[in-house]
Structure 1
Amino acid sequence: MEPQNDASKSISADEIALYDRQIRLWGVKAQEKLRSANVLLITFKALANEVAKNLVLTGIGTLTIIDHEMVKEEDLGAQFLVREDQIGQNRAQAAAPFIREMNPRVQLEVDTDDVHTKQPDFFAQFDVTIATELDFATYTTINAACRIANRPFYAAGLHGFYGFIFADLISHDFVIERSKSNISSTTQETPTRSIINITTKKEKEKVIEMVTKRETYSPLILANTSPLPEEFTRIPRRRRQVTPLLTCLRALWEFQKMSGGMPTFSHQDLELFTKITRDRHQELKLDIATLDSEFLRTFLQNLGSEITPVAAFVGGKLAQDVINVLSAREQPIQNLLLFDGDKSVAPIYSLHPFFPPEVENVLPAVLPVGNPIPLDGDPIATGPTMVLPHANS
């Protein structure tokens, strides 16, 4: 899906001068697509700050930010678009003047409604919807509304050192350029990616192929219960490399569905979250050695917190993918990117309801008894101090 481009308003000479560097990178046509795009950004916290900055400086047409929450003292730690004297003001309204200063050419709309009050047709007016820092049920509800309207959807969030980006572009066509190969291309590159057209052009003495590819996506509600691709589960070495962050994120979303909030370090919450994590790990057919109690403890300690470098990385990757999608260039995220700031890795997993063959010799997913999560006493391990959210936050 591509944004509607108003051909009557071609890019001006002033804009060409302003965006010269990026036009050299992706061309005038791509810039024209960006300047006509209307993007919705939900929940204006640290991650959305970074996304907004990158999209606005790129020169998108319209950015709508929606957030009904007020600026709190804890917002000042990782967010750079609000000030201390704005505590108590609406978070979106407080940030708006600073966004406009970044690029006055971008039309900025501020919506202070609770996104939960929006009807499904609200999302049809946007070329891309980016939902950040929401619970799983809200993500899937907005995702469904975007699918009905045939609009791309992103879900993203931060948990301290960890972050994620999920993309549902429904069906997305994009073009890549490559040197012409003597080997003929296969029509179906992966279960979700196909080549639908190839044209050629000459650049000096080289023949360049313009390859149009199509990616097919799954909604979050299906991706969240889908297995890992066979390439990650067939070989034991690859299976061990799968980050336990995938298991923990799935467990978190399941916990939210069951309890309505974030897990705390209470005995009851730890017991439930540990059980859910074990079950999710088993469903993914992963080795138990990769589900270590120290990682579970660290993940829980990071819940609900924001760290500026993590926000910058995840926000930058998300904004870049949105730019690629709007300009119909480059391979987009397919479909879940996970970022582990502790290890500085950001693997991407293509999660779809395609079930690979059964994997043999996978150990049963049971909690390691040698290093369990303490259910009593002080659960806080050494390391950066973070405020743990309450279950009803």
Structure 2
Amino acid sequence: MVAEASTISKDEAAVYDRQIRLWGIDAQNKLRNSSVLVVGISQLGAEFAKNITLSGLNSLTLLDGHVITKDDVGHNFLLPLTPGEDLIGKNRAEAAYPRTYTLNPNVKLTAIPNDLETELTKNGEDWLGRFSLVALIDQNYDLVVRVNAICRRLGVRFIGASVFGWVGYSFFDFNGHQFLTKVQNKDKEASSTMDLENEQGDENKKAMTMTIEEDQFEPKPYFYPAFEEAFNVDWSQKKLLRKCKRIIPSSYFLVKSILRAQKESRFTGNGEDADLRVLEEIWEEEVKNGNHLKEQQTVQPEKFDHLFNPQLTPTCAVVGGLMGQEAIKALSEGKNPLRNIFIYSALDTTGIMCDFPPQ
């Protein structure tokens, strides 16, 4: 269940004045009544949590069962760097609470030091229904598939995202939720008219008249595919064969290969070299399945060591920024949502929006 509807106070209106001017008081009130769950307070998770907190939510829940490692310290800006304090081994969600709170004290903040599977076992799957949006960040493939299915059943907006070293992706599923859509019927378009003085400024002479057509928008539900469907397109279909080279970016094969390695439990964890060999093998298969040539790919296997931790800060900033943008659109029922997979690669400096499976 989402929070009971309420409107922003005068004090909040002053805090959010700039963004109210940008997207309007109605959109801000919708954000004010939204509750978001962020699972995974990694460096990417911190970027998204920051962006969504500053938007002016009703409540934010940080959930993470992992402890802080050396990859987090100095990179995750939600973790305090107190002289003499050793953060290694502390829970990430609890450690991130103080700085997240200072970003926006108006947001009701909760930190849960557990993994999501533990919470679902304890509270039941319907527990996710209390949130307006659930974001899974840097989580395993199988968990993302499962939680996405739960959110679709409960009608909860969903984002899944990860950053693998220098490359990252975000997946959006706002299935059935409304966005403002431009009215195509010109009969419904409004117009405004204003009189202008002639060039000489002579008010006694006939003034020019300018009519400005104003776009009209109405709420309309949008439909999205599930995570598993979007990342498991059969590119051998006749209708897709000729499109493959045009619509599949090289960076897609990097992301898909890592997701597939997770799905098939192929990463050994026994050493980077073994995982690199697995990744290259899967990548070659995925490139072939996508009707591409491996020698034409912008990122070759000799750079695959850049696809492992630590996460590159600029990649987290780009992916986390777009996640925040689309989350705000979804919660405020705004305009022009992007569908449905964004992939950013700092290896070839590309950021591409893909709509998979192709329409």
- Match in the other structure for 2:242: 234
Q: Rg: which structure is higher?
A: 2
- Match in the other structure for 1:210: 217
Cα drift, residue 274 of structure 1: 2.6
Cα drift, residue 99 of structure 1: 1.0
Contact 2:2–2:35 (Cα < 8 Å) also in 1: no
d(CA) in 1 for partners of 2:37, 2:278: 35
- Match in the other structure for 2:117: 116
Is 1:274 the counterpart of 2:271 in the alignment?
no
d(CA) in 1 for partners of 2:107, 2:92: 19
- Match in the other structure for 1:98: 99
d(CA) in 2 for partners of 1:93, 1:272: 35
Cα drift, residue 56 of structure 1: 1.2
- Match in the other structure for 2:356: 351
- Match in the other structure for 2:178: 173
Q: Pick from 143, 158, 170: which aligns with 1:153?
A: 158
- Match in the other structure for 1:21: 18
Q: Pick from 220, 226, 246: which aligns with 1:219?
A: 226
Q: Pick from 329, 342, 355: which aligns with 2:347?
A: 342
- Match in the other structure for 2:197: none
Cα drift, residue 66 of structure 1: 0.2
Q: Pick from 239, 242, 253: which aligns with 1:247?
A: 253
Structure 2: stretches of 5+ with no match in the other structure: 194-210
Partner deviation per Cα, 1:97-127 (whole Å, 9 max, x = no partner): 1111111100001111111222322211111
Contact 1:40–1:65 (Cα < 8 Å) also in 2: yes
Cα drift, residue 206 of structure 1: 2.2
Q: Pick from 57, 61, 64: which aligns with 1:60?
A: 57
Structure 1: stretches of 5+ with no match in the other structure: 186-197, 355-393
SS of the residue aligned with 1:82? Answer: coil
Cα drift, residue 160 of structure 1: 2.1
- Match in the other structure for 1:195: none
CA 344–173 in structure 1, closer or farther in 2 if over 3 Å, else same: same
Cα drift, residue 351 of structure 1: 0.8
Contact 2:168–2:255 (Cα < 8 Å) also in 1: no
CA 41–301 in structure 1, closer or farther in 2 if over 3 Å, else same: same
User: Which letter maps to 1:144?
Assistant: A
- Match in the other structure for 1:375: none
CA RMSD of aligned residues (A): 2.7
Q: Pick from 285, 308, 327: which aligns with 2:332?
A: 327
CA 134–16 in structure 1, closer or farther in 2 if over 3 Å, else same: same
Q: Pick from 241, 256, 267: which aligns with 2:262?
A: 256
Q: Pick from 37, 49, 71: which aligns with 1:40?
A: 37
d(CA) in 1 for partners of 2:116, 2:94: 15
CA 262–122 in structure 1, closer or farther in 2 if over 3 Å, else same: farther
d(CA) in 1 for partners of 2:73, 2:27: 35
- Match in the other structure for 2:203: none
User: Which letter maps to 1:15?
Assistant: E
Cα drift, residue 243 of structure 1: 2.5
d(CA) in 2 for partners of 1:142, 1:214: 22
Cα drift, residue 353 of structure 1: 7.3
d(CA) in 2 for partners of 1:25, 1:142: 33
SS of the residue aligned with 1:73? Answer: coil
User: Which letter maps to 2:217?
Assistant: M
d(CA) in 2 for partners of 1:279, 1:216: 30
Q: Which moved more, 1:97-106 or 1:339-348?
A: 339-348
CA 211–262 in structure 1, closer or farther in 2 if over 3 Å, else same: farther
Contact 2:38–2:136 (Cα < 8 Å) also in 1: yes
Q: Pick from 129, 134, 137: which aligns with 2:134?
A: 129
CA 49–56 in structure 1, closer or farther in 2 if over 3 Å, else same: same
Contact 2:247–2:354 (Cα < 8 Å) also in 1: no
Q: What TM-score do the two structures reach when normalised by structure 2? A: 0.83
User: Which letter maps to 1:128?
Assistant: L
SS of the residue aligned with 2:283? Answer: helix
**Equivalent pairs, count:** 331
Q: Pick from 291, 298, 314: which aligns with 2:297?
A: 291
Q: What TM-score do the two structures reach when normalised by structure 1? A: 0.76
CA 174–241 in structure 1, closer or farther in 2 if over 3 Å, else same: closer
Q: Which moved more, 1:50-59 or 1:207-216?
A: 207-216
Contact 1:5–1:33 (Cα < 8 Å) also in 2: no
Cα drift, residue 233 of structure 1: 6.0
CA 316–230 in structure 1, closer or farther in 2 if over 3 Å, else same: farther
